[in-house]
Structure 1
Amino acid sequence: MNLEDLFPSRRHHSGLPDRLSAQVDQLRRDIGEISAVLSREAHHTANEWSREAARQGAWLAGVAGRKAVRGAEAVRRDPLPALAIVGTALLLAHLFSGRK
């Protein structure tokens, strides 16, 4: 009697390391493909967000510019309220800076 007769299951597993190696290689390829897809999607999403942020920034800059023009026209028509606001701000800054 030999060892193969005592342990017959060992004969069936002789190709197991090769099959495991093939499965590991396939897993590596699959992970590489998934990584490439995720990278492309992340790049695409970042580009979309960047374009949207630029569009929103341009819109906000336009709104701010229009508001600044309106404010400048209002000050040109009647500078007294603007002078009062600036004077009050300077007075408060002076009062608070002297209270250390």
Structure 2
Amino acid sequence: MSPEYCLVLSTCPVGDTATNLARLLVQERLAACVNVLPGLTSIYPWQGAIESSQEALLLIKTEKALYTRLETRLREQHPYELPEIVVIPVERALPDYLQWISQWLHDTPSP
């Protein structure tokens, strides 16, 4: 049975925070690729007020089987009290790309 894949979205502060989170998830093989998209303006209600923040969006590519571990690690490292973590199932993608994702996630790193 082939693995199922998902795209995880998470917003975070721009700058080092976004880059460090992305690098951590890839280094720990919880994600094969994380795109960091800076330049977002998020408008949202928080603690009785309408807030506005400059953020980066992380597009995290992984397998569904790793989601729980990824979510736990992201929550541990995320600076927000309530981080945005949204999962979108991948219905279809280039098979070679999906194979590349799985290869990174499951190959044993070299010593």
Normalised to the residue count of structure 1, the TM-score between the two structures is 0.19
Q: TM-score, normalised by structure 2?
A: 0.17
Please say which structure displays the higher CA radius of gyration.
1
Q: Say which structure, 1 or 2, has more relative contact order (CA 8 Å, 6+ apart).
A: 2
Decide which structure has greater strand share.
2
Between structures 1 and 2, the one with greater helix share:
1
